[in-house]
Amino acid sequence: MTDFPILTAIIATPLIGAVVVTMLPSRRPEIIKAVGYGFTIATLGLACWLLADFSTKNIFFQFVENQPWLPGIGSRYIVGVDGISLFMVVATALLMPLSLLASQRYPSQRPKAFTAWFLLLEFSLLGIFLSLDLIMFFVFWEILLVPMYFLIQGWGHERRQYAALKFFLYTAVGSALMLACILVLGFLHQGATGVLTFDYRVLAAWAYHGLSLTTETVLFLGFMIAFAIKLPLVPFHTWLPDAHTEAPTAGSVVLAGVIIKMGAYGFLRFSFELFPHASVNLAPLLLTLGVIGILYGAVVAAMQKNLKRVIAYSSIAHMGFVIVGIFSLTVLGLDGAVFTMLSHPLTTGALFLVVGMLYERRHTYEISEYGGVWRSAPMLTAMFMLAMVAGIGLPGFSGFIGEFLSLVGTFVSRRPWAIAGAIGVIFAAVYMLWAFQRVFMGKPSAITLRMPDVSLREVIVVAPLLALSLFLGLYPKAALDRIEPSVKRTIVNVELKTGFHEKRPAGYSKTTLPKGVTASESIRLGLGGP
């Protein structure tokens, strides 16, 4: 079955689902829901198959498909997966059916449109993580805006107009600049070599010596703005709390779980390979922004009165760890970052789902409205607590491994930033525990006392996420074995292209490519040719 185009199948399944849903009669919500589950679970099945078939030996892209698409512009349909994108695909495929299940009751209005937009969202996310052609990557990146805009606008809370507009403008401006940079890069390549292509691998093998340092830096910054807005890094973050707060639960889960990872993924995938000099030179800037994100997110989260905003700001802090890990420019740091990108969807997804359950019961996110929830809903309290400790990095859960690796990597290469980041870990515990205390402990009000506990469906929604987080926390090797080859390749490529030396802890040997892979092969990312 090696010929089966599994990546295309993964991308296409949700799209077909969306088309099917739009054709169903809107009077039959149960069929629509069943179809929605069917297609998201089918995608998950394909993703699991991909996970099983994924080889830990190949450090380049696997399951690559390459077809002509836009001949006039030189863009091709190229998809492929490596250790960096593998878990983003799996996490996306996993969160989607769970979010749909979680929002079974909530979008009482127009389930058809909701399901269709949702499937389209999944389609664009999977496309983003699997594209190896820059134009195609942009296409999916851009499509994502539409379903997300309509989900926030159509099913959000009171200030959804404002939140949807803000979300749209921020991300669209970022992606517009990215498109400009992609085109400039592609046509500079054409000017130098005569070949018009947007194949990421070809451009990566050319850009590091084909661009002047100034051009490289400008293009890096153009991409960076798009990624930083999505991530979000601190000066570009203000859309996130609004979007999170106003989005429906399923939207928040996907937003926190996957969409904000797109930025980190972009840095890992594109910035390092395309603009290695600029990445090395500007690493201190991004490290600083990351640390600011960690501390700022933590402090602001502690001051929030709205439960969803607390989690939203905590996401900013978590993404700070990711960016710090990435720009530590060490294998450990990158491992930690990718691992956090896998772990954060699980823990934050679980948190948002539990908060959504609270909302369904009381129709408010205001922390002061709650108190003493544990009396009436002990199971709910337990679920929130588990999700919370998994998120704040209690050893034994996945959150710990990711943050630990990120910080160790940073400690080796950039000590002051690591120390500042570590303080953020303590803050995280403070604001989450404080929020927990205010919501779940204390004296319950009369309304709170009447709150029902979780149903079986709600347990089914959250349990897999927590179980996976626990599994990865206890046995991270399962994921790291698949992540590390690609991470090592990334670091080695940066070293090869710029002459930069990765800082390693004493006693560790230099990061090398596996036997049989030459340096020039690595620079070309496994693509044949001269």
Partner 1 sequence: MTPPISTPSINWLAISPEIALAAAGVVMVMLRSVLRRRPITMPLCVVVAISGVVAAGAVEYRLWQVVDHHRAISTVAGMVRVDLFGIFLGVVVLGATLMTLLLSVAYLRREGLDAPEYLALVLLSAAGMLAMTTANDLIVVFLALEVLSIPLYVLAAFDRRRLSSQEAGIKYFVLGAFSSAIFLYGVALTYGATGTTSLTGIASFLAHNTLLDQGTLLAGIAFLLVGLGFKVAAVPFHMWTPDVYQGAPTPITAFMSAATKAAGFAALLRVFGVAFPLYRADWRPAVFALAVLSLVVGSVAAVVQTDVKRMLAYSSIAHAGYILIGFQTATSRGREAALLYLFVYSFMTVGAFAVLTVATRRGDDRHSLDDYRGLALERPIVGGLLIFFVLAQAGIPFTGGFIAKLEVFSAAAQAHQYVLLVIGVLAAVVTAYFYLRIAYTVLTPGEETSSAKPLETPRRVDVWSGLVLVACAALVLVVGVVPGVFVHWARDATFLL
Which residues lie near partner 1 (CB under 8 A)?
68, 70-73, 113, 135, 139-140, 142-143, 145-146, 149-150, 153-154, 165, 168-169, 172-173, 176-177, 179-180, 183-184, 186-187, 190-191
Cβ-based neighbours of 318, under 8 Å, separated by 6 or more: 297, 340, 344, 348, 391
Of the pair 108, 455, the CB lying nearest partner 1 is at: 108
**3 state SS of 78:** strand
90, 23, 27: which is closest to 346 by C-alpha?
90
Coil, helix or strand at residue 370: coil
Helix segments in 231-275, DSSP class H: 239-246, 249-254, 260-266, 272-274
- Least separation in angstroms between residue 77's CB and partner 1 is 12
| Choice between 145 and 474, CB closer to partner 1 | 145
Whole-number minimum distance, CB 486 to partner 1, in Å? 27
DSSP state of 367: G
Is 79 in contact with 132 (CB distance < 8 Å)?
yes
| Complex with partner 1: residue 54 or 167, whichever CB lies closer | 167
By beta-carbon proximity to partner 1, the closer residue of 73 and 478 is: 73
Question: If DSSP codes are grouped into helix, strand and coil, which group holds residue 235?
Answer: helix
Q: In terms of Cα–Cα distance, which of 146, 156, 85 is closest to 121?
A: 146
Helix axes 415-440, 398-413, angle to 10 degrees: 150
How far apart are CB 127 and partner 1 at their closest, in Å?
A: 10
Sequence-distant (≥ 6) Cβ neighbours of residue 65 within 8 angstroms: 5, 7, 8, 77, 78, 79, 80
CB of 207 to partner 1, least distance (A): 15
Q: Which is nearer to partner 1, 186 or 276 (CB)?
A: 186
Which is nearer to partner 1, 173 or 394 (by Cβ)? 173
Smallest distance from partner 1 to CB 247, Å: 15
Choose between 117 and 359: whose C-beta lies nearer to partner 1.
117
CA distances (Å), origin 62, targets 30, 66, 204, 477: 38, 12, 17, 20
**C-alpha angle 336-339-341 in degrees, rounded to nearest 5:** 110
The CB-of-58 to partner 1 minimum distance in angstroms stands at 30
Q: Which is nearer to partner 1, 150 or 471 (CB)?
A: 150
Q: Give min distance, CB of 73 to partner 1, in A.
A: 6
As measured in angstroms, the least distance from the Cβ of 125 to partner 1 is 14
Query: How many angstroms separate the CA atoms of 367 and 428, rounded?
Result: 17
